[in-house]
Amino acid sequence: MIKNFSSIFWGYLPPTKEPYPAHNKVNAFIGPSGHGKTTAWDGLRLMLGATSFESKRPFWFYVHPDSNWAILRVDFWNLPVNQQRPFEVEGYRQDEVTACCQIYKTKQDSWTKDYYLFDGEFNDLSDLHKNPKAYSQAQLTETNYLAKLKNCLGITKEFRNLMSMSPDTVRDVVNSSSNMLFNLIFDLKGTKVYKERYDQSKARLAQESINLQRAQEELTEAEQKYQEAQVKAERFAKYQSKTKEVGQTELKLRKLEYYETESQIEKNNQEIRQIKAQIQIENEKVAKQTAELTILDEKSTLAKEELGRYDELERKINSEMDTFNVQKGEMTTTLESLRVEIEQLEKIRPQDINELIQLQKVLVLDVDEAKLAHLVRAKEQKEIQERLVELSKNNIPYKTDVKEFRNVLQQNAIQYLMLADAISIKPEMKKWQEAVEAILGNNRYRIVVDEKYYLPAKKLQEQYKYGARLCLPKKGMKIFNEPKTNYPTVRSVLNVSHPEKIEGYLNHLNHIYLVDTVEEGDQLQKKGFTSITARGLLQDNDGSIHLKYHNLCCGKMAIEEEYTRTQKQYEEVSKSVQKLFNDLTKLTSDLNSLEKEINEQIKLAKLPELKEDFSTKTLAWREILNKITSAKEQREEAINRKVGLNESYTALEIEKTNATNTKNNAENEINKLTTHYTNLQNGLWSLQTTLEDACNKLRELQISAEEIEFISCDVQTSSFADAKGNRFTAKYLSDKLLALQKEQTDLHNPSVNENIVMVVKAQEGQVDKLRERLNRLEEERAEWDRECRDLLEQLKSHIKTIMREYIAEFQTLADLLKANAKGKLEEITPEPETWQLHLAIGFDDKKPSPIDGPDLSSGQKACTSLMILLAALNSQKEGNVSPIMFLDEPKARVDDDRGNEIGQLLQVTDIQYFITHQQGESLKSIDWIDHAYSCSARERDKQFANPLIFKRARRNL
């Protein structure tokens, strides 16, 4: 518990002659923001080991700007509690103990701090700064200082974390998870020795498990090496046995190679003698067949020459027959054509060819006239169709010259307005469309341009000879004394889109009236008025005239009407075009028939000549037939002769082939025998060399000449045969030797020798020692496992005890606030790290509900959060030392009534509080603050602020 406190050059707090006294309950630093209450409050927190401050300020932030050092001082009570002074365990026995913290800049221009702890009262802070070496016995490192606070006052790391909580963090304690809440309460309330002993035992158990695993790995490795050595020893024994077998097999192989080579030499000599005799026989065959082939060649040549003569004769006859057949075919075709032509001409009726030619000339003129009429009408149809397309696109069907001039103006970027574009007939006056456009006439194509385009447009008008008016905009004039009639004027039925530009050109239409009949117009004419009927009859003071509109182009109704009429016109023209086409087709057909008749009469005149030509060609055709018959007979005779010659020639060729094959076979056999003979001779030389090599190898194996002589007897024994009596061959023994040598090589290990047996025995002893060590470690691990379980049970028992006490304390504090509270500890798993603490509270006679639930207001949650922490600290009585608690504005964000309840909690708990409090209501209305320190801001022209104004609660006076 703090008795008093003071400072020098800490912020703008001025030095004081006497320290500020502290009450054992609630001490409050009061003032608005920026008046230094947090500065004083953080100074006390720094003395109790705090490392984090408001707005992430470092500890040197609070040193006075004009100073490079500062000292904080706190005096702790050290009165006996249950006959034991709090600091006595560290050797401090006076009634009070003074702690100082000196903050200063080092020579390296960095900030640091030193702690001092005096047994008794100490106030000479200036001297401590000037002469720190004089107080070196009381000097402590920060680590030692914090350790003494922990041992004497129970200020742990967890307490310092709590001390560093912001108001928002304190207020949100209720929103912590059940597990986080459990750990928080255990950190503040629990006795750490239980957990430390359990953690140490758990760590030792883990280490023993690691040692056991390592011992198991070492034993496994030793056993593996022992097994490997055993395998090597067994392989070495097999290697020695295999080496002996290789030697025996090699000796048999060399004897058998010698024997087989010697036998092969004798066999080759015998085969050479047989080949010589066979070659003699084959040579005799070759000589006989050669003589036979000479005779056959002579006979074959004669037969071939005669056959060639008949082939030539047959080709000549075939060539003549081909010529005759071609001539026959041509004549036959010509005769058939003449016959058909004569028959057709005989069927033709004779006519006067001159009359037919005159009739042809008339038809030609008729066809030309029909073509021209059809062409003209088809062109008209195309124009109407194009007009229909334009109208279907709602394009106004201007005349060709109008369209062209509009395009010219657009290409020259001249903006214009055409009268036809700007006017339209009112829908209800549709019947007057034709009459109005007839009145307007060419004036519909009047073009209006602005002043700046006027001259260029007129030049273009002259160039392109545009026949309608081109003018400047002209406004209309107001009509005065308009005569009263029952007839509408032409102007009255028009809609005008740009009257400011064209109205002046429409004024005369105000004096032309629209009438239904000629009689009505006649009456108006007599009165001096001009009128026009819907059918286009104009009557004025100059008489009457019928006006034609040519084509409609003013407004949408004009386009629709024009489209309907054009569609009808297109249908009529299409029928006309089709009729003209049919007439043209008929005339053309008649002309073609007439031309055919004329050609027939011309041919009919040549009929006698054709008949005479037909008779001449018939005689020539019969002569050709006789020549073909004669040629066939000659060819038949030649073919028959060729067949006999072919049979004789084929028989001679077969004999020649057989004789040639016999001779070739004999020669091939001689070549084979000669080659085989040569190979045998060469083989003998090679076998002699092989035999000598076999003798040398036997000598290398210590076989004497006498033993070599008896090899032929040795190979007949059972050692050179398998179990069934089959004799070994050199190839079999060679393959077997290679296999044995490969096995020998596979078994061979240069690093292994006869000493491998000693290695096996040594490793066997090592394995036994490691197995004994593993058994010992398993027993030790079992002991630590039992101890760890016992310590876990002690820790769990301790936790359950303190949690029961905490829940009871929480309920006691709730009773003071007239609230209902309850709590429950839930064991999730055997390990306490996962346990959960569930708390519930109900205010205003309501049933308890979870502290983080929706039933609590924000003020109730803030009060409950603080109560959770105070309940943990209030029962933390390690040696009956009252804890110290720092709260930053605990009354913030709650209403006054709830704030007073918080104050009551502070009063009833056995804790010394240092809080900050915003300046608000008078201290007279706050009966739960015992000591108040009112803070003030520093004036600009002063080095320090005013000293803290100390006030006591009225009940403490």
Q: Return d(Cα 534, Cα 547) in angstroms, integer.
A: 11
Q: What does the mean pLDDT of the chain come to?
A: 84
| CB 505 within 8 Å of CB 474 | yes
| Cα 419-425-430 angle, rounded to 5 deg | 145
Q: Return d(Cα 129, Cα 135) in angstroms, integer.
A: 10
Q: Return d(Cα 938, Cα 252) in angstroms, integer.
A: 120
β-bridge pairing 447-449 and 416-418? antiparallel
Q: Give 879's pLDDT tier (boundaries 50, 70, 90).
A: very low
Minimum mean pLDDT among 71-75, 472-476, 612-616: which range?
612-616
Task: Give the pLDDT mean for 196-211.
Answer: 86
What proportion of the chain, given as a percentage, has pLDDT over 90?
24
Residue type, 247: G
Residue 243: Cβ-neighbour burial (10 angstroms; 0-12, 13-18, 19+): middle
pTM attached to this predicted model = 0.45
* Chain segment 763-778, per-residue pLDDT in tens: 778 888 888 888 888 8
pLDDT at 563 over 80: no
Minimum mean pLDDT among 499-508, 594-603, 606-615, 754-763: which range?
754-763
| Adjacent-strand bridge partners of 84 | 81
Q: Give 924's pLDDT tier (boundaries 50, 70, 90).
A: low
| CB 191 within 8 Å of CB 803 | no
* Chain segment 426-485, per-residue pLDDT in tens: 888 888 888 888 888 888 889 999 999 999 999 999 999 999 999 999 988 766 556 677
pLDDT at 756 over 70: no
Angle between helices 433-440 and 556-604 (to 10 degrees): 80
Where do runs of H (alpha helix) occur along 518-605?
518-526, 556-604
Q: Give 1's pLDDT tier (boundaries 50, 70, 90).
A: confident
Task: Give the pLDDT mean for 614-619.
Answer: 84
Minimum mean pLDDT among 198-207, 394-403, 625-634: which range?
394-403
Q: State both tokens at 936.
A: 């003030």
Instruction: Give the containing element (helix H, strand E) for 751.
Output: none
Q: What's the pLDDT score for residue 96?
A: 96
Q: Return d(Cα 699, Cα 706) in angstroms, integer.
A: 11
Q: What's the pLDDT score for residue 395?
A: 65
Q: What's the pLDDT score for residue 475?
A: 87
DSSP structure string for 858-920: HHHHHHHHHHHHHHHHHT--GGGPPPEEEEE-TTTTS-HHHHHHHHHHHHHSS-EEEEEE-S-
| Adjacent-strand bridge partners of 531 | 513, 539
pLDDT at 237 over 50: yes
Minimum mean pLDDT among 189-198, 321-330, 528-537, 661-670: which range?
189-198
β-bridge pairing 69-77 and 931-934? unpaired
Cα 142 off chain centre by: 57
| CB 905 within 8 Å of CB 813 | yes
Q: Return d(Cα 44, Cα 22) in angstroms, integer.
A: 11
Q: Which residue has the tokens 């096995």?
A: 743
Q: Write the DSSP symbol of residue 745.
A: H
| CB 188 within 8 Å of CB 871 | no
Q: What are phi and psi of 111, to 5 degrees?
A: -90, 145
Q: What's the pLDDT score for residue 531?
A: 92
Instruction: Give the containing element (helix H, strand E) for 302.
Output: helix 192-347
Residue closest to 341 by CA, chosen among 600, 623, 18, 689? 600
Minimum mean pLDDT among 401-410, 546-555, 656-665, 738-747: which range?
546-555
More confident of the two residues 287 and 642: 287
* Chain segment 489-515, per-residue pLDDT in tens: 988 888 888 889 988 888 888 889 999
Where do runs of H (alpha helix) occur along 701-834?
705-709, 711-714, 730-747, 756-816
Cα 497 off chain centre by: 60
* Chain segment 175-189, per-residue pLDDT in tens: 889 999 988 888 877
Q: Return d(Cα 901, Cα 859) in angstroms, integer.
A: 11
Long-range contacts of 135-139 (CB under 8 A, 24+ apart): 139/114, 139/115
Cα 915 off chain centre by: 59
pLDDT at 698 over 60: yes
| CB 256 within 8 Å of CB 730 | yes
Task: Give the pLDDT mean for 826-833.
Answer: 90
Q: What's the pLDDT score for residue 112?
A: 94
Q: Give 898's pLDDT tier (boundaries 50, 70, 90).
A: low
Residue closest to 494 by CA, chosen among 414, 435, 539, 452? 435
pLDDT at 390 over 70: yes
Q: What's the pLDDT score for residue 899?
A: 62
Q: Which fold has domain 2-176+852-956?
A: Rossmann fold (3.40.50)
Minimum mean pLDDT among 17-21, 353-357, 579-583, 952-956: which range?
952-956
Q: What's the pLDDT score for residue 878?
A: 46
Q: Return d(Cα 899, Cα 891) in angstroms, integer.
A: 5
Q: What's the pLDDT score for residue 410?
A: 93
Residue closest to 380 by CA, chosen among 225, 531, 210, 580? 580
Instruction: Give the containing element (helix H, strand E) for 235.
Output: helix 192-347
More confident of the two residues 179 and 633: 179
| CB 29 within 8 Å of CB 935 | yes
